[in-house]
Amino acid sequence: MKGKVLSKQGPASNAVNIVNSGATGLYRESRKRKIPLATVRRGELFGEMAS
């Protein structure tokens, strides 16, 4: 899904995602700029687990 937004910054959620193939970039928005945080590769998890 190259170029697709999978999740957006906002309220906490209980979703977690796994990268099945390839890689994805994680970014934070600040003053309308994308700030790179990390690259997540095949087999790795990303998301937030809120309690």
Q: What are the domain boundaries of the chain?
A: 16-47
pLDDT recorded at residue 13: 75
Q: pTM of the prediction? A: 0.69
What is the per-residue pLDDT across 1-51, written as a single tens digit (0 to 9) for each? Answer: 777 888 777 777 788 889 999 999 999 889 989 999 999 999 999 887 554
CA dihedral 10, 38, 2, 43 (to 10 degrees): -100
What contacts 50, CB < 8 A, 6 or more positions away?
A: 12, 13, 14
